[in-house]
Structure 1
């Protein structure tokens, strides 16, 4: 078996030992790995063929590495990183099946394979996603598109919320989230001051969960996606129980859709936890896209 390796060294929980354990379980005859800390650094074997890319130390080198590996007629490409890493490699539109191992801050993407997988139990699965467009910028999200002032990150091994706009400029600054004014246009319109706006594909896990509110009915009726406008910021990990009760009740307004929604706001928009840009009252379009990637999962 011939495999490719991509590692995002900036992901929140990269672990060299676990990377090697996964590769040993695959037992490949040939390994094509990204240069340095993009893959090569973590493997101690003579089977490696190093794939060079121009080092930009940004998401662009991850995408470029995926494009190169996808053209090598490999059996699979193993990707180690966070939810945002998986969304980034999807932009390369790979045809090769992906084995996505979560080593980020949250690790909730539907493309992820459990790290303790049994290779003989893996099956190819096609995964749908969301395509975000803001002017000429495009991104893919598998978990959600989020508008808000904070994202979750790992600092000194601890999960915290940081300022999303400053993160784009390379800083990790712990801060409390703020509310903003936003407008969502779909089959209906929602506007007002919100803590966060979320866009996500519906999920069978919502079925029968009345606690999920409108999202439960969206899934039951077969809508492909749902927007949730939340009255208070909830992308925060440093709250205590007392903090939460002080901002409750939290009110969520939802809109179901099958194709596309448009969102206007003056806050940062993120895909799977990775900030894309600060919206300066620009319109962001979020569209449902089917069969974005093929992944291997039990």
Structure 2
């Protein structure tokens, strides 16, 4: 079996010995012939067939390497965070992905735990985002807001999204912004702290505390938009900080096959990857990519 290897050494604050051990352990389980880029082979210290890709030190390193490996290997092993998984899927490969989390949050439903035994191929539903003439794939959510989560000095913190796009990691508190969201004839417009677009999840079922998202899941809607009065993409708040901004009010809109149109004067992010400020369109698409997940016996 030929195994393509994609590694984001910047995920989760950097590549260390602990992460290297995780990667090597997974590769030993796969027990195949490895194919990857020069830089990845050197970082891991492995024997591998090399493919030539232009190094940019940006997300394009992931996208371009996935494209170079697609169709030339049996599986593409992707090591990184949720944003790396999004970038790999955005290349729309035909070859299945095995995604292992070594990032900041590691909550993407496309991820596979590193201690897997048997694997099976699964088709993934995803959020397809159109922004600035580009198309991206997200599995967690599309978020509008002034902060994103990142790792600074080994700690998970919220950083300013605009400055992050300029290569700076600066801890910041959320700013409010004006935005308009359209789903068909339904419109929400105003000043918000965050806007989230996500696929519904069975975990919302029976959880009335989740508000409108609980009913969206119960009725079988594919997705839901949540416009939140305060910025909640934070990880450094104390109880007193939360008390200070409460009450927090959320307005939701459910959707199936409609296109969610967002016009905002704050940063749009795709699974933690900031895209820019402006207009975005989001839709849910089945079978955006195939991934390997732990095998489940039929009940």
TM-score, length basis structure 1 = 0.94
Partner of 2:110: 111
- Residue of structure 1 in register with 2:253 after alignment: 255
Matching of residue 293 in structure 1 with residue 289 in structure 2: yes
Q: CA RMSD in A?
A: 1.2
Is residue 20–residue 42 contact of structure 1 (8 Å, CA) maintained in 2? no
**1:18 corresponds to 2:22:** yes
**Aligned-pair CA distance for 1:289:** 1.2
Alpha-carbon distance in 2 for matches of 1:111, 1:83:
9
CA distance in 2, matches of 1:229, 1:106: 22
Partner of 1:66: 66
In 2, the alpha carbon distance for the partners of 1:237 and 1:141 equals 21
Q: What SS class does the counterpart of residue 267 from structure 1 fall into?
A: strand
Distance 1:111 1:274 in 2: 16
* Distance in structure 1 (CA, Å) of the matches to 2:45 and 2:151: 27
Find the partner of 1:192 among 190, 197, 202.
190
Distance 2:146 2:183 in 1: 23
Q: Distance in 1 between matches of 2:42 and 2:272?
A: 26
Q: C-alpha distance in 2, partners of 1:135/1:6?
A: 26
Question: What's the counterpart of residue 35 of structure 1?
Answer: 38
> What is the alpha-carbon distance in structure 1 between the residues aligned to residue 287 and residue 100 of structure 2?
19
Alignment match of 1:226 (pick from 224, 241, 246): 224
Deviation at 1:241, TM superposition (A): 1.1
Q: Give 1:205 deviation, angstroms.
A: 1.4
Q: Please, which moves more after superposition, 245-254 or 7-16?
A: 7-16
The aligned counterpart of 1:171 is 168
Q: CA deviation at 1:43?
A: 3.1
Secondary structure, counterpart of 2:169 in structure 1: coil
Give the distance between the partners of 2:59 and 2:36, measured in 1 at CA.
17
The 5-angstrom pairing of residues 57-96 of structure 1 reads 57-72=57-72, 74-96=73-95
| CA drift at 1:134 | 2.2
Residue aligned with 1:25, SS = helix
> Is contact 2:123-2:287 (8 Å) kept?
yes
How is 1:133-144 mapped onto 2 (pairs within 5 angstroms)?
A: 133-144=130-141
Which secondary structure state, in structure 2, belongs to the residue aligned with residue 55 of structure 1?
A: coil
Q: Give the TM-score, by structure 2 length.
A: 0.93
Q: Which runs of 5+ in 2 are unaligned?
A: 295-299
Does the 8 Å contact 1:181/1:194 carry over to 2? yes
**Distance in 2 between residues matched to 1:205 and 1:112, nearest whole Å:** 17
8 Å Cα contact 2:131-2:275 kept in structure 1: no
2:297 matched to which residue of 1? Answer: none
Kept in 2: contact 1:19–1:42 (CA 8 A): no
For residue 12 of structure 1, give the secondary structure of its aligned residue in structure 2.
helix
Q: Do residues 201 (structure 1) and 199 (structure 2) align?
A: yes
CA contact (8 A) 2:78 2:99 kept: yes
**Secondary structure at 2:11's aligned position in 1?**
coil
SS at match of 2:21: helix
What SS does the aligned partner of 1:90 have?
A: helix
How much has 1:44 moved relative to structure 2? 3.5
Q: State the shift of 1:239 in Å.
A: 0.3
Alignment partners' CA distance in 1, 2:191 and 2:199: 23
Q: Distance in 2 between matches of 1:45 and 1:10?
A: 19
Secondary structure of 2:260's match? strand
Q: Please give the secondary structure, in 2, of the residue aligned with 1:33.
A: strand
Match of 1:273 in 2: 272
